[in-house]
Amino acid sequence: MSRNVPFFNYQKFYTQNEAELMPLIQDVCRRGAFILQKDLQQFEENLAKYLGAKYVIGMANATDALHFLVRAAGIGAGDEVIFCSHTMVASPASIYFAGATPVPVECGADHLIDPTKIEAAITPRTNTIMPTQLNGRTANMEAIQEIADKYGLMILEDSAQALGSKFDGKCAGTFGKGMCISFYPAKTLGCFGDGGCLITNDDEIYETIMLLRDHGRNHDGEVVMWGLNSRLDNLQAAILDYKLKTYEQDIERRRDIARMYESRLGTVPGMTLPPGPDSDPRHFDIFQNYEIECDNRDGLRQHLRDNNIGTLVQWGGKAVHQFPKLKLNRSLPFTEKMFTRCIMLPMNTMLDDEDIHYVCDCVEQFYATGVKSRAA
């Protein structure tokens, strides 16, 4: 039986929750409470409580949060920062705009920064490692911390995709000075537009970023430093506070979907699945994405499209160093090969079990009829 399984399904969440969302939106609008109001403060407090963190600062998006974090950490001209090329361009952009040099390295089999490739990229100018906690998984931070300690480097994580993800029981984002989280609609905690936040336990980082996000103005409206504007809209904060109440269930649902994919597709030849939710007790993954590798990726993608199933290849199909205009001038063969094979299957809380079985049926069907005969 044919179904329609879109990759994103924002309208379904809204429709399902409209009866509760509308009064909430009306309440904010009737109060005219749009900028830096109590809903934002409440959400910041609730999220801090949820994570056991000292400070949450709502911001316009995670790109700003990361960029401000890089600046607050004192990274600037002459510094080199090592990042994994399989990431959103926002990670190295935060380094670039601080005046420092982003240095890309390879990802590993789990698609996160490969700790064994970091040392070769270190120079006397390196001062930071920026792992991206990709797809809702946290990198092996023990291995990365060892390298950082050995060479006296800072760690700053791009944890935009990793709210609640853990390594050895420690949350993504807490290995460095602060974590940036994205509330972009496709993220595990998504709002109705752009949004993000910075989370930190560091008093100094907190003070600096509170000023940076609001034109350098302190509580009395006195401008005490150069700042910019990057505030999380109060209306978005009210919506996020509503979604936060079910966040834990949302993550459990994502992990259940990952278990279903694993049990149905784990033995399909030519296909490599991400590490399963129960495969390694050191990792607690939140499955922001379900990124697989497979033979004849483009053929599979077309087959799924023909069956009304949406998929996505991350970052438009290229690692950051593969965009020539950014002039990163590196060759990273493992990552480049991976980008000919990777694709993301539908992963969101609006999917029901039948949707997942339908996706798996279609994948199995494609490989059962022979990848070779379908190869373009």
Ligand X SMILES: *Cc1c(COP(=O)(O)O)cnc(C)c1O
The answer to whether 87 contacts ligand X (rule: CB under 6 A) is: yes
Window 131 to 150, contacts with ligand X (CB under 6 A)? 132
Q: Are 332 and 121 in contact (CB under 8 A)?
A: no
User: Token pair 């480049």 is at which residue?
Assistant: 336
SS3 of residue 245 by DSSP: coil
Confirm or reject binding of residue 161 to ligand X (CB under 6 A): yes
**Min dist. Cβ of residue 106 to ligand X (A):** 17
Least distance (Å) between residue 25 CB and ligand X: 21
**28 scored as a contact of ligand X (CB under 6 A):** no
Residue from 61, 138, 188, 311 touching ligand X (CB under 6 A): that is 61
- CB nearer to ligand X: pick between 83 and 367: 83
Q: How far is CA 87 from CA 144, 151, 163, in A?
A: 17, 24, 16
Does position 322 interact with ligand X (CB under 6 A)? The reply is no
Q: Which of residues 167-196 bind ligand X (CB under 6 A)?
A: 182, 184, 196
Confirm or reject binding of residue 356 to ligand X (CB under 6 A): no
Q: Is 347 in the site for ligand X (CB under 6 A)?
A: no
Q: Is 113 in the site for ligand X (CB under 6 A)?
A: no
Q: Where are the beta strands (DSSP E) in 295-357?
A: 342-345
91 binds ligand X (CB under 6 A): yes
Closer Cβ to ligand X, 184 or 206, answer by number: 184
Nearer to ligand X, 160 or 294 (CB): 160
Query: Applying CB under 6 A, which of residues 5, 62, 139, 300 lies at the interface with ligand X?
Result: 62
Structure letter (DSSP) for residue 179: E
The residues with which 58 forms a beta bridge, in sequence order, are 197
Q: Is 285 in the site for ligand X (CB under 6 A)?
A: no
CA dist list (Å): 189 to 14, 17, 248, 260: 14, 15, 10, 22
Taking the C-alpha atoms of residue 150 and residue 153, their distance in angstroms, rounded to an integer, is 8
How far apart are CB 113 and ligand X at their closest, in Å? Answer: 12
C-alpha to C-alpha distance for 41 and 49, rounded to whole angstroms: 12
Check binding of 160 to ligand X (CB under 6 A).
yes
Phi, psi of 54 (to 5 degrees): -75, -50
The reply to whether 335 sits near ligand X by the rule CB under 6 A is no
SS (H, E, C) 280-291: CCCEECCCCCEE
Can residue 63 be called a binding residue for ligand X (CB under 6 A)? Answer: yes
Q: What 8-state DSSP symbol labels residue 214? A: B
How many Cβ atoms from other residues are within 10 Å of residue 86's Cβ? 30
Interaction of residue 165 with ligand X, rule CB under 6 A? no
Q: Is 234 in the site for ligand X (CB under 6 A)?
A: no
Task: Pick between residue 286 and residue 362 the one whose CB is nearest to ligand X.
Answer: 286
| Of residues 208, 230, 210, 217, the one with CA closest to residue 74 | 208
Beta-carbon-side half-sphere exposure of residue 330 (alpha carbons within 13 Å): 20
DSSP assigned state of 121: G
Give the binding range for ligand X (CB under 6 A) out of 1-9, 57-65, 72-80, 239-247: 57-65
Q: How far is the CB of 187 from ligand X (least distance, A)?
A: 6
Q: Is residue 272 within 8 Å of residue 295, measured between CB atoms?
A: no
For residue 157, which of 138, 131, 183 has the smallest C-alpha distance? Answer: 131
Least spacing, CB of residue 67 vs ligand X, in Å: 9
Q: Figure out which of the listed residues 39, 110, 158, 214 binds ligand X, where binding follows CB under 6 A.
A: 158
Interface residues with ligand X (CB under 6 A) are 61-63, 87-88, 90-91, 132, 158, 160-161, 182, 184, 196
